[in-house]
Structure 1
Amino acid sequence: MAATALIFISIGITIPVLPFFVTDTLDADESAVGLVFAAAAVSAVLCRPALGWIGDNRGRRILLRLGSVLCAAGLLGHLLASDMTSLVVARLVVGAGQAGVMVAATTLAIDLSPKGRRGEASSYLFIALQVGLGTGPAIGEGFRHFGADAVWIAATATCLLSAGFASTLPRVRRRSSNERAADGKRVNVDYGVAIRIGLLAGLGTLGFAGYLAFLPLYSSEIGVASTAGIFLLASGTIAIVRLSAAKVPDRLGARRVARASLVMLTIGFIVIAAWHSLPGLLVGTVVMAAGMSLLVPSLVLSATAGVSEGEETRRMSAFTLFLDLGAALGPAMLGIVATSGSYATAFAVCAGAAGVALVLLLRWVPARSQAG
């Protein structure tokens, strides 16, 4: 959790600064902001097959350290960026590192959790992620007074600290591929479940990714000077709900919890889109964040149901791929919609994506299913 939190603190540090760096320093528009945020997710998607293989064959701890170092290298690249091309390259490196951290951390959480408590373990891990994304922007706001360079340096140092924590993690004893072959067991990875459940997670995450990317610009439009408190409200809501309800997905079943989460996501984004003011933003943020809190942990539980040894990291690699697709499409889509229309329309699109996920969940996941 500490290693994961530090990585996402470093990502969060850049959030309140990056949109203005693109629009003011590099003199680009809102669609370019979406492109910059999307670039990290594109590289995360492209490197997924290699990450799954590294995690299953070389170890989760090595993958976690590698991801942390790559994030640090990419964030250091922000310091050297002088145009959109160099910034996009730096974001591609960050995306590869962030993907490595996500795949390794989620699989380690499953490895280290007792049977029947995987949903709880995933909830705790994603608390770390949201705490990072919530506290990071507040830190970034503070460093922003010293200039963008100070922000990039602080984010880089945080990633390197995460790599140090990753080095202290235990080695999980895995049977080698030769040992499994000696038993006559060949691993055939079932990607179908991971793809279907991952698509639901990606649709739910799409809106949240866009919310993170464009909250600073939207808040400025409605007269809110600082977004640190709003980021903290979102991450705090997610952390509190996940901490207090960590055992709920294991007890009630993934389908029931995911259904409630998607309903709240839809309502939260509708409120933000329709109530164009600070009160509307605050109310919508709380409802949306409450929905986001248990969506991914419950879907992780569903995606890992019946997973076999040697398949774990690759199954999670396929599942988390859709989280990155959501992170890529969210800012890119909202950037286009915001440029041609309005932020209200963009957040209405987020509500629509969550609604589609709800319909697909009811069709794909049987009501009798508890783990999935």
Structure 2
Amino acid sequence: MSKKESSLVKKNENPNDSGEKHLMDRAAERVWTRDFILIWSAHFLLSLAFHATMPVFPVLLQDRFGLEGIAMGAAAASYTLSAILLRPPAGYLLDRFGRRSVYLPSYCLFALVFLLYPLASDAVAVTGARFLHGAVWGVVMGAANTAAVDLLPAKRRGEGIGYFGLAMICSMAAGPGIGLYCVEAFGFDVLFRGAFLLTLAGFAVVLPLRFPDIPRSDRPFALTALFEKTSLPASLAVLIFCVPFGAVNNYSGLFSRSIPGASAGVFFLCLAIGTGITRLFSGQLFDRGGPSRIMRSAYAILLAGCALMVASGLLPWGAVSFSAGGLCIGMGFGIAVPVIQAMVNALVSPQRRGAANSTMMTAFDLGICLGLLTTSHLYATVGVSGTYGVLCGCIVLSALVFFLFALPRYVKDLAGQGKT
């Protein structure tokens, strides 16, 4: 076509066509589609049931079965241990057999396990139920996150991942209070049966979900198939910065007792607010500008949070510093997690998303576990300020891993795939 003909065509084009095309493109890139709303709602209900029972379980072990100390810790840790063990196989199953075939059965089974707790007659039985519940949790969480990513447009994937994470944050804020109230008012058995009904409602919500038609992986089962190698550098950074988050989540209630005027309730509220607010925009910033600048901000905020926690044990205004530290750690965590999840999903084909997400989530759980296992010894040895001083070192180490290894590998792999 000649230049003259081309110009004539352009003159004859309807000026509204470009606007209509923009609207059509925008509609195709919507995050809050019918199916995304369904999976978000189902994820919220399942997470709400989980967080309602989480703080109650140690109380159940002590009041009903008389467990204390190491025995209580082992029973409580069985949940996390089994979740970690099942994360990698879950990713392989998602890629090999499809999202629906894994997500719906694991969701239903997660609901049914709640009914085992009232039937448990001794500590061994309740620990077995807890171990089974953790295993199913490891599968259903990987399935939910992978299915949600499948539903998101590529150009707004980071934003959508951030929004999806809000389901967990909202349930984390509301669940513990609901669970503790139910136990006080109605007892343990009513709480667990209520959690079953809540999760059953979530299962009903997710049944009409239209899963995208993702080609299934034909990769044979092997240890290497359980992990996605392109996700490993970023997942290592996640593992290291989750150590401080595990410490914060599990021991800040204990730490608050040694800081005059500090309140564990206010601290966890600040933590939830910080995480929730940043998840609203961190994914959008990733979609627009990539991970480098936003992750610099995340690490700076995380480091500031740990520094404020160090100061809380040394300064007269320690209670204010303690709560501000929780806000900063929540903000840094709320930025870093969806950004890194978007990174690992950007590097893989849809047939390997299950493995990519499970690799990252295994690292997440391992970091939380390490924080849980090491912080009590640190606290007994060096106190609150010393403990958070060591955790500051974890943030610095994670930043070094991210910027020296994970980010260059991400840029190189992205360029190799022609996505830059």
Compute the TM-score of the two structures, normalised by the length of structure 1. 0.84
Residue equivalent to 1:304: 345
Residue 356 (structure 2) pairs with residue 315 (structure 1): yes
| Distance of aligned partners of 1:37 and 1:284 in 2 relative to their CA distance in 1, 3 Å threshold | farther
Residue 296 (structure 2) pairs with residue 254 (structure 1): no
Residue 241 (structure 2) pairs with residue 199 (structure 1): no
Secondary structure at 1:145 match in 2: helix
| Distance of aligned partners of 1:243 and 1:330 in 2 relative to their CA distance in 1, 3 Å threshold | same
Residue equivalent to 2:108: 69
Q: Structure 2: which amino acid aligns with 1:171?
A: F
| Distance of aligned partners of 1:190 and 1:58 in 2 relative to their CA distance in 1, 3 Å threshold | closer
Residue equivalent to 2:320: 279
Deviation at 1:138, TM superposition (A): 2.3
| Distance of aligned partners of 1:33 and 1:131 in 2 relative to their CA distance in 1, 3 Å threshold | farther
Q: Conserved in 1, the CA contact under 8 Å of 2:227 and 2:355? A: no
- Cα distance in 2 between the residues matched to 1:221 and 1:66: 46
Which consecutive unaligned segments of at least 5 residues does structure 2 have?
1-39, 415-420
- Cα distance in 1 between the residues matched to 2:292 and 2:123: 42
Residue 274 (structure 2) pairs with residue 234 (structure 1): no
Residue equivalent to 1:9: 48
Residue equivalent to 1:183: none
Q: Structure 2: which amino acid aligns with 1:115?
A: A
Deviation at 1:117, TM superposition (A): 1.6
Residue 151 (structure 2) pairs with residue 109 (structure 1): no
Residue equivalent to 1:132: 171
Q: Conserved in 2, the CA contact under 8 Å of 1:71 and 1:96? A: no
Tell me which of 19, 37, 58 is aligned to 2:97.
58
Q: Structure 2: which amino acid aligns with 1:236?
A: I
| Distance of aligned partners of 1:202 and 1:162 in 2 relative to their CA distance in 1, 3 Å threshold | farther
Residue equivalent to 1:118: 157
| Distance of aligned partners of 1:195 and 1:280 in 2 relative to their CA distance in 1, 3 Å threshold | same
Question: Residues 158-198 of structure 1, C-alpha deviation per residue, up to 9 Å, x if partnerless?
Answer: 333322223232122123457x9xxxxxx988722212211
Between 1:202-211 and 1:31-40, the stretch displaced more is 31-40
Deviation at 1:19, TM superposition (A): 4.3
Secondary structure at 2:346 match in 1: coil
Tell me which of 323, 328, 332 is aligned to 1:291.
332
Question: Residues 75-98 of structure 1, C-alpha deviation per residue, up to 9 Å, x if partnerless?
Answer: 444445566544443332222222
Between 1:94-103 and 1:65-74, the stretch displaced more is 65-74
Secondary structure at 1:304 match in 2: helix
Secondary structure at 1:247 match in 2: helix
Q: Conserved in 2, the CA contact under 8 Å of 1:259 and 1:361? A: no
Tell me which of 129, 132, 150 is aligned to 1:90.
129
Residue equivalent to 1:174: 214
Secondary structure at 1:117 match in 2: helix
Secondary structure at 2:209 match in 1: coil
- Cα distance in 2 between the residues matched to 1:202 and 1:351: 14
Question: Residues 266-296 of structure 1, C-alpha deviation per residue, up to 9 Å, x if partnerless?
Answer: 3213322430453233111101101011111
| Distance of aligned partners of 1:129 and 1:273 in 2 relative to their CA distance in 1, 3 Å threshold | same
Question: Residues 89-121 of structure 1, C-alpha deviation per residue, up to 9 Å, x if partnerless?
Answer: 333222222222221122122211112221111
- Cα distance in 2 between the residues matched to 1:15 and 1:248: 33
Question: Residues 222-244 of structure 1, C-alpha deviation per residue, up to 9 Å, x if partnerless?
Answer: 57898555433322321122114
**Structure with larger Rg:** 2
Q: Structure 1: which amino acid aligns with 2:411?
A: S
- Cα distance in 1 between the residues matched to 2:389 and 2:46: 30
Residue equivalent to 1:28: 68
- Cα distance in 1 between the residues matched to 2:274 and 2:159: 17
Q: Conserved in 2, the CA contact under 8 Å of 1:189 and 1:311? A: no
Secondary structure at 1:170 match in 2: coil
Q: Conserved in 2, the CA contact under 8 Å of 1:253 and 1:370? A: no
Deviation at 1:139, TM superposition (A): 1.6
Q: Conserved in 2, the CA contact under 8 Å of 1:36 and 1:91? A: yes
Secondary structure at 2:155 match in 1: coil
- Cα distance in 1 between the residues matched to 2:124 and 2:413: 44
| Distance of aligned partners of 1:210 and 1:366 in 2 relative to their CA distance in 1, 3 Å threshold | closer
Deviation at 1:7, TM superposition (A): 2.2
| Distance of aligned partners of 1:126 and 1:230 in 2 relative to their CA distance in 1, 3 Å threshold | same
- Cα distance in 2 between the residues matched to 1:218 and 1:167: 43
Q: Conserved in 1, the CA contact under 8 Å of 2:88 and 2:226? A: no
Greater relative contact order: 1 or 2 (C-alpha under 8 angstroms, separation 6 or more)?
1
Aligned residues: 365
Residue 402 (structure 2) pairs with residue 361 (structure 1): yes
Secondary structure at 1:174 match in 2: coil
Between 1:213-222 and 1:308-317, the stretch displaced more is 213-222
| Distance of aligned partners of 1:116 and 1:91 in 2 relative to their CA distance in 1, 3 Å threshold | same
Please tell me the root mean square deviation across aligned C-alpha atoms, in Å. Answer: 3.3
Deviation at 1:154, TM superposition (A): 3.5
Deviation at 1:322, TM superposition (A): 0.9
**Which structure has the highest helix share of the two?**
2
| Distance of aligned partners of 1:193 and 1:220 in 2 relative to their CA distance in 1, 3 Å threshold | same
